[in-house]
Structure 1
């Protein structure tokens, strides 16, 4: 009977154990299914919470969480709590296989952006935040229209106490900037210094890697006494520097930027920019600094991250000098681009025409504004042509070197009699040179032209190519740009026509005219070599400009200037001079 009782007891015990295990397994699997469903809803951003509630997810390596609005999508990893991807929704990256901008544009992808904090506690135990696993809490504040993601990691040496939080805040509208805060809870005591490290590999996004790399560099704003200045590292070589009183630092690409703005100025910052000659990355940029941490105080500091386009008006709206990272040129060239060309372009942009047509219209507007200078130059050339016989007479009269001063005095009296100043032509030409060169910086940095096509041109901010060459020609490249060819041809025609209208009146001591025309005819060849790889918008502008110049030449000659009237005016001036 004892054996039977033992058998019955064992059977009943086993039955109860199986029953408990079954119930436990059922509830555990049910909870897991619920967690997975919640995670899926979170990842798809289909379910939101008000500011009083939050989701909590179990730790899992290599798990990602999304924050997004109309223009940005951020993917944040629970390993290190870092931003793993930044997608710009309204822009595309260049696809070499399709020959146009069609790929999703990621400013950050596959951990190309890394940041961490390193510190140690009073026992000398080191903590590196990249080795921590973070747990997410997602909140939404409907009134402020923001989403908040808190990534929380436990203190690995805190015996279950102490937390480190990364707090990401993103607006739900068309905002390219996000808030980022770091705080500790019951995490101290620390040793004196906390190391902050940030590193980003700048990804290639455009058609021409070499051209893109020349516009990729580090900019930073510093406070010097009572003034704020914006400086930059070299775009051509690896460079490093130390910065104090930093307001912000920008990793600038040709059309986009990643800008980091600390809430409080950081001191003694080390920055290094390293160039890559190949691969998917253009540069590697490192940012390091040390921050004091008191023994009995928590860490709490904040950044703002800007991941977005180099749109002048958008950046200017932040009122922090961000717009100064757009490379409109140096000195007064920058002012010409900002307050002349940009204003004209933005005005014409409101027509919603094709951007190639807008550039052509822009050329007409600029030429009309500069028409008085063009007319004055042509009038000067016409008068110089009419008084050529008198100039030759003076050259024959004063042949000797000893008579150079008398010759110069006689020339000035002749110019005064006919009412001209030859120096005015030089001044007019010098005035147009800055306008000519400022365009070299304007079109390759104009975001609104990026990826825009016109006729056979795929992208107005890059070169157009009608034929790829199997070899490389120094200074020219390995392709043929049709717009550059058209511009060089138009410049050659204009040079020929204008050279026929004005002959060089300067002569040597023998009275012969030195042939300087070869220099003028060399210019189209130089420009053909020089701008073959430049933005096609630049070639389009210059081509249109020279066509307009040719038109002006005929219009002024046929309708504006009457040589007979000019001769009469010259004679009247001579008579008036004699009377006085």
Structure 2
């Protein structure tokens, strides 16, 4: 490391320290922040007190209702709770007659974290749902009511709460053949109970999202409260930071409480009104939960009872093709875009995954192949597709390598720092004469990066990898530890993942081969600068280890295989390239261009022209400066 590099590092450090000192808040700012926090704390305390007062008032109303035999829902406020089970081959739901909502959802044929054959998405401890309707004298909260069940089958049930003579509130459930549950809420004979302004029902939905996979940190990255805007796209609350009472100004089609591979979704036929309140609170690692979700929304309600309030619920796996099929089973006829629960990345990467990766993945999966083999075959297919460009790029680097002695000889007179512009110009001129593009060597990284990022989004969201074993890997959807310990170590965690180590090792090998290739083609000071950059390049695999140790074995395995084949291709091209023949071909091209200068073109020629233009502009600036000073 030379003196200039050390000075540069020290200057950068000084700038960072100075910037941090400059950005420290003033005493006034600190005081204002403290006042704001105090106000927020007071507002929070006031809100809690108001909530307690409202609860106390509701309890008094409930007590008066129980004592008054003519009061609204007098009989429905007492009773015994009954569990009603709706089930099919894919899903089993438990509905409690106290409140009349789903209290337990079991998704069949997906192995749970504790080894059970089915996954329990939530039970009565984790989830609650209530409907609140404003009345003239008394508000209605379904959570407090006991419903009587009728018309019970494995797929249907009708729940009725009696409000008085000829007055009822009815819920109807219909379970489809897969994971979709249809729901309706209807008031009958209760027109006089509601005010003339009542046209909406308030829905309060809470869930503590269970940890379903072994890797808490990795699964938590993909657990999000997601929602779909009407006639728009999907969005989600932050997966890492706490969001409380986040207000959504748009009208919504659905809201989903999502973890990595399973979701609970609520869909409104008549939309959820703007200004929905959504909350997502990350949970502690040892709690057994990922997030605490809350949704406070409004949707259509007809107080006359002519038109029911209709919702649909999806309780099932986040499978892209399955979610597309579920949308067809919806009775609402909306463009729900349910498959967006499976996040495939930003637009460019989503296009790659949506129209290439998914189809190839589906085709290979339908052949009945092991998921590890599927990942290897996808890698080989991508390498085959990109091979022509990679080879072209490598040959461009090889041309620069065999020309290096000539470049060293032609530019040795430009060793002084002030001659670097002329040196670059001379190099560009030679590249143009020999028909070599100096930037083509960057193509392999440019080609591979979109694919790497696309697979970074695809593999962790592919539920087909869940529970699938390959070689030593027990589950491709989570990390594969070769060592585990009870305590958490900063930046490492509580385990070592073998596939992550292999990926970092392959990255180290590929980085070494790439640097050697670049070093072999660099001239003069460039080669010296490359030597100083080597230690930084070797640090990258170490950084990747700290990032990817928690990631799924499937993703690390894909990157390992991809880098292994990239290194193998580079080695094979190096072994099969005859430097003498390549140099002869370049000499022939040089003679051809020398005899016909008009044929010299390409990127190198354009770069040379740009450098000449910059040099001329620099010369003119220097002349103007000398004239200004009178020299």
Contact 1:83 1:111 in 2 (8 A): no
Corresponding position of 1:51: none
Alpha-carbon shift at residue 440 of structure 1 (Å):
2.1
Give, in angstroms, the shift of residue 452 of structure 1.
0.9
Aligned to 1:237: 241
Per-residue deviation at 1:521? Answer: 2.3
- Does 1:367 pair with 2:383? yes
The separation in 2 between residues aligned to 1:301 and 1:260, in whole angstroms, is: 13
User: TM-score normalized by structure 1?
Assistant: 0.81
Alpha-carbon shift at residue 487 of structure 1 (Å): 2.3
Larger fraction in strand = 1
Structure 1 gap ranges (5+): 1-58, 96-100, 141-145
Counterpart residue number, 1:109: 123
Match of 2:296 in 1: 288
How many residues end up aligned between the 2 structures?
502
Which residue of structure 2 aligns with residue 536 of structure 1?
Answer: 553
> Out of 181, 187, 195, which is 2:202 matched to?
195
Larger deviation: 468-477 or 183-192?
468-477
**For the residues of structure 2 that align with 1:472 and 1:79, how far apart are their CA atoms?**
43
**How far is the alpha carbon of 1:501 from its aligned partner?**
4.1
What corresponds to 1:68 in structure 2? 87
1:394 aligns with 2:394: no
CA contact 1:507–1:513 (8 Å) conserved in 2 = no
Check if 1:217 corresponds to 2:224.
yes
Query: Matches of 2:345 and 2:228 in 1, distance apart?
Result: 18
Pairs within 5 Å for 1:84-103: 84-95=103-114, 101-103=115-117
**What's the CA shift for 1:291?**
5.5
Name which of 181, 184, 188 aligns with 1:185. 188
Higher relative helix content = 2
Q: How far off its partner does 1:312 sit? A: 0.7
In the superposition, relative to structure 1, how do residues 545 and 568 fare at CA in structure 2: closer, same or farther (>3 Å)?
same
In the alignment, which residue of structure 2 is the partner of 1:130?
Answer: 143
Alignment CA distance shift 1:428-1:312 (3 Å) = same
Q: Which residue of 2 aligns with 1:246?
A: 252
Separation (CA, whole Å) in 2 of partners of 1:104 and 1:510 = 61
Contact kept? 2:271, 2:300, Cα under 8 Å: no
- From the superposition, tell whether residues 295 and 72 of structure 1 become closer, same or farther in structure 2 (CA, over 3 Å): closer
- State the alpha-carbon separation in 1 of the partners of residues 173 and 523 from structure 2: 75
The 1:290/1:339 distance shift into structure 2, 3 A limit, reads closer
Superposed CA deviations along residues 368-401 of structure 1, whole A, max 9, x for unmatched, are: 1121232123212221211111221233122234
Give per-residue Cα distances to partners, 1:195-222, cap 9 Å, x unaligned: 3322222122111222222211111112
Pairing 1:480–2:492 present: no
**Cα distance in 1, alignment partners of residues 483 and 294 from structure 2:** 40
* 2:186–2:305 CA contact under 8 A, matched in 1: no
CA distance in 2, matches of 1:257, 1:198: 14
Describe the SS at the equivalent of 1:455: coil
Report if the CA contact (8 A) 1:243-1:270 is conserved: no
* Cross-structure match for 2:169: 164
**Alignment map for 1:23-42 (pairs within 5 Å):** none
Q: Residue deviations 1:284-320, cap 9 Å, x none? A: 2222234576765567210011111111112223152
Q: Which residue of 2 aligns with 1:49?
A: none
Q: Does 1:352 align with 2:352?
A: no
Q: Which stretches in structure 2 are left out of the alignment for 5+ residues?
A: 1-77, 328-334, 597-631
> How far apart are 1:322 and its partner, in Å?
1.2
Measured after TM superposition, the shift of residue 81 of structure 1 is 0.8
Give the Cα separation in 1 of the matches to 2:509 and 2:452.
Answer: 19
Contact 2:386/2:447, CA 8 A, preserved across alignment = no
Tell me, yes or no, if the aligned pair for 1:271 and 1:286 is still in contact at 8 Å. yes
Partner of 2:52: none
In 1, Cα distance between the equivalents of 2:277 and 2:540?
46
- 1:337/1:438 contact within 8 Å kept: yes
Question: 1:574 and 1:241 mapped to 2: Cα distance?
Answer: 67
Contact (CA 8 Å) 2:224, 2:238: kept in 1 or not?
Answer: yes
Larger Rg: 1
Per the TM alignment, residue 467 of structure 1 is displaced from its structure 2 partner at its CA by 0.8
- SS of corresponding position for 1:241: strand
| Root mean square deviation, CA, Å | 2.4
8 Å Cα contact 1:465-1:480 kept in structure 2: yes
Distance, in Å, in 2 between the alignment partners of 1:531 and 1:464 is 12
Give the conservation status (yes or no) of the 8 Å contact 1:507–1:514.
Answer: no
| CA–CA separation in structure 1 for the residues paired with 2:515 and 2:469 | 36
Distance across 1 between alignment mates of 2:125 and 2:418: 78
Question: 2 CA distance for matches of 1:197 and 1:79?
Answer: 16
Match of 2:108, SS state, is strand
